Amino acid sequence: MKGFVLLLAKYAFYLYAWFWCLERRRVETTVGVLNLFYLDFLRLDRRDVEVVKLDERELVTRCRNRCPILNLSLKLGVDTKLACKVISEPVCRYVLNRLNPSLVFERNYNHIRPYADSCEERIYFRC
């Protein structure tokens, strides 16, 4: 049953991403990634997104938002490392690929809630 709920959440997130991507958007800078991906697509409040690193090629963030995947994981008793790999990671990669195919998305599974105070992600431009 838990696996079914995770897949259902994944497909719901994919559906939202697909609709969001219908409007053509393109990013060429990491500031653009921060604005379009985190603030617009994920609808995060800027106060919940700590920018650890921001330069021309790389963006590292730590997010402390109210996360529906974290909440679902806690309710189901599923490790967030698994839930994020199943639900969030493929959808985030899909959206970032639509924004710019040279973007690479990495989540730091050693720095993820509830084991840490935030979730750390790295997005960078492939050479």
What are the pLDDT digits (tens) for 20-36?
A: 999 999 999 999 999 99
For residue 94, the enclosing domain spans 2-125
pTM of the model: 0.94
Query: Consecutive sets of 10 residues in the chain, 127 residues long: mean pLDDT of each?
Result: 93 97 97 98 97 98 96 96 96 98 98 97 96
Are 119 and 67 spatial neighbours (Cβ–Cβ below 8 Å)? yes
Number of domains observed in the structure of the chain: 1
